[in-house]
Structure 1
Amino acid sequence: MINTKLNKALKDFLRSGSVDNMQDSSSIEVLKEYEMIFPVVEMEHDDLIEKLHIEMAKAEKSKVVQEFLSGLENNEPQKRAALSAYAIMQKFPDHKFESHAGIQCGICSGFKKRKVDFTLVNAMRYLGGSTNNGAPEQLYFFLAESNREREFSVPSGKKMKAVLSVLSSASAGDTPVILEKKIRGINELKFSQDESRGLLDLLGHLGVLETPEHKGFLNEYKNIGLVPKKSRSTDWSYPVDFWLGKYGINENAVNFWFGDYLKN
C-alpha cells in the first residue's frame, strides 16, 4: 500500500480533476516531492499506437513479472500495473485509426486526437495497480514507466502463493465482490479496496481468472470497451466481471506467468 501522505494527495488530485484545480497546496507539494506530476499532452491515435508498440518491444516478460511480484511483496501497486498492460498487449494489433463515427477507434477505443493527462494515468497506476479499461494511453504509460525501472531481484513468490491459495479455495458461487473481500483479508498484503479490485482485474487480463466463454488476453486481443458486460452498472474489467468460484483458476495461465517463481 502506498504511504498515507501520497495516498491522500492522489485522492485530492482525483477529486479536483486536475493539478490546476487542487486547493490544498500541501497535496501539490507532495505530488511534486514524489515526482507524480506529468504534463498534459495532445496525442493523435496513430502516434500513440506507434509509441505503445515501441514500449512493448522494449519490455521483457521476465522483468515485468518480477516487477509485479516485487510490487506484491513490497505493497507497491505501481510496480504491478505494467503486467496488466503487457498481458493485454500480447495480441494487440498494430493498426491505424478506424472508426465509423470518427471519434474513437473501433479496434482499441483510442481517440483520434485528445489531450491526455498523464498525471491522472499515473494516479490510476499507483492507486489500483492495473488498467481497468485497457485504454491505449494507460498501456503505453504503464509500459514506459516499467521500462525505465532497474532490474528486480527475483522475489520469493510467497505472497503470490497466498493469493492463489485464496483463489483456489473459493466457493462455487463466489463473485468478484466476494473474492475482493477475501483478498483484503490476507494479512500479509495490507491491500486497500482499490488495490484488491485492481489485482483481480489484472488476474483476469492474465487469464488466471476467466470463464470458458470469456477468456483473458493470452491468445486473443479484445477491446475492453466493446466486450460484453455482466451488467450495465458493473465497474469490473473484462473478463473477471464474469468469473465465479466454480470456474476456479486457470493453472496453465498461472504456470505461463509465474511458474518459474512458485516452484519452492
Structure 2
Amino acid sequence: MNKKAQKILFDMFWSPAGWRDDKERRISDADFAFAKSQGLMFDPIRSSHDEAVARLLGLIARLNRRVVADAFLASLSTRRLDWRSALGSYATFQHLAQHAAAGTTHACSICYTAMREQSVDLNVLNFERLKWGGVRHNQVVYAALDLELLLQSDVGVPTEEDKGIFRSILASIAEAPAKTTSAVLHKEFAAALKSNKSERDTLIAILGYCGILAVPEHPGFSDSFVALENRDLPMRHYVDMPYPACWWRREHGVNHARLNEYFGHIL
C-alpha cells in the first residue's frame, strides 16, 4: 500500500484532534488524483438499493469463508486492518438474498440500504476500513467496497505468528473474568496483538458477526441473514457494540462450532 496515498486519505478525514468537520475536509486536485491512482480514493458513485445489493451478492459469490478468514488471520501480525475487515462484511451478508426494498422509512428494513438512489462517498468508507478495520460491516455499500478491494489486494498468507496471535486472543477470551462484557473484553487481549482499543473493539464485533461471540437468542449471521428489523438491541441508553456482539458476556463463552467453521484449519 502506498504510504503517501494513505496519508492523503487519512488527512482528509482525521486530525490529531479526531474527525475533521465537513467544512475542513479539503484536498487538492493533485493529491486526489494521486490517491485515486493508487486505489485508495474514488469518485462518488450513484447507487440504487437493487444495484447495491446485486453488486454485493456478486462479490460474495467470488469469495468463501476460508479466503476471508485467512485474510483476517494475516492482518494480526501485519496490522493490515483492511484485510481484517472483509471477514465482518462477508460474515454479515453471506446469506443475504436479492430482495425488493422494504419498509416505510428512508432505509430498507431488511438490509438498511437507502430506498432511493443516492450519491455515495466511498472515501470515508475506505478511511474507516484502513483506520480501524471498518465500522459499517452491516451496511451493503460498505461491505461491497470492502470485498471488492479485498479481491483486488495481494493478501498475505497467514504465518505461524498470525496463528499464535489468534490462539492468544481465544485464550484471553477464555480466561477473562466471568462478568466481562463485549465492551470491555478488549482489555483482556494479550500484548501480542498490536492494536488500540478501537481496533480491538472492531475485532470483537467481527467475531460477533461470525457467531463466534454471540448468544443463543442472537446467534449472528452464519446460518441465515438477520434483517435489520430483527436485530434487537439491549435496553440501555448507550449500546457500545453492534449486533450481535452487544449481547455477549464472558459466561456465554465461544461458540466452538462457529469457530471451527471459519478457523478450524488452524486450530
What is the TM-score with the length of structure 1 in the denominator? 0.86
Q: Sequence identity of aligned pairs in percent?
A: 22
Separation in 1, partners of 2:214, 2:52: 29
Deviations 1:189-234 (A, max 9, x none): 2201211110000000011101121111111211346512222421
- Offset of residue 22 of structure 1: 2.8
Structure 1: state its 5+ residue gaps: none
| Residues 49 and 113 in structure 2, CA contact (< 8 A), matched pair in contact too | yes
Kindly report which structure 2 residues correspond to 1:166-177, keeping only aligned pairs within 5 A, or say none.
166-177=172-183
Q: Which residue pairs with 1:182 in the alignment?
A: 188
Q: Which residue pairs with 2:111 in the alignment?
A: 108
In structure 2, give the amino acid aligned to 1:260. H
5 and 38 in structure 1: CA distance in 2 versus 1, 3 angstrom threshold: closer
- The match for 1:58 among 62, 80, 94 is 62
Separation in 1, partners of 2:4, 2:176: 31
- Offset of residue 150 of structure 1: 3.1
Structure 1 residue 160 corresponds to structure 2 residue 163: no
Structure 1 residue 214 corresponds to structure 2 residue 257: no
Query: Bigger CA drift: 15-24 or 86-95?
Result: 15-24
Deviations 1:7-30 (A, max 9, x none): 796265153356983379999799
Query: Bigger CA drift: 189-198 or 220-229?
Result: 220-229
225 and 194 in structure 1: CA distance in 2 versus 1, 3 angstrom threshold: farther
Kindly report which structure 2 residues correspond to 1:81-100, keeping only aligned pairs within 5 A, or say none.
81-100=85-104
Separation in 2, partners of 1:187, 1:194: 15
245 and 5 in structure 1: CA distance in 2 versus 1, 3 angstrom threshold: farther
- Offset of residue 130 of structure 1: 3.7
Kindly report which structure 2 residues correspond to 1:73-88, keeping only aligned pairs within 5 A, or say none.
73-88=77-92
Separation in 2, partners of 1:133, 1:107: 15
Separation in 2, partners of 1:17, 1:147: 32
Q: Which residue pairs with 1:13 in the alignment?
A: 13
Structure 1 residue 22 corresponds to structure 2 residue 9: no
In structure 1, give the amino acid aligned to 2:112. S
Cα RMSD, aligned residues only: 2.9
Separation in 2, partners of 1:80, 1:195: 10
- Offset of residue 31 of structure 1: 5.3
Separation in 2, partners of 1:239, 1:57: 24
Structure 1 residue 49 corresponds to structure 2 residue 23: no
In structure 1, give the amino acid aligned to 2:241. W
Separation in 2, partners of 1:148, 1:5: 17
- Offset of residue 110 of structure 1: 0.4
SS in 2 for 1:115: strand
SS in 1 for 2:94: helix
Q: Which residue pairs with 1:192 in the alignment?
A: 196
Deviations 1:34-87 (A, max 9, x none): 642122111111011111111111113222111111111211111011111111
Separation in 2, partners of 1:20, 1:29: 19
Q: Which residue pairs with 2:42 in the alignment?
A: 38
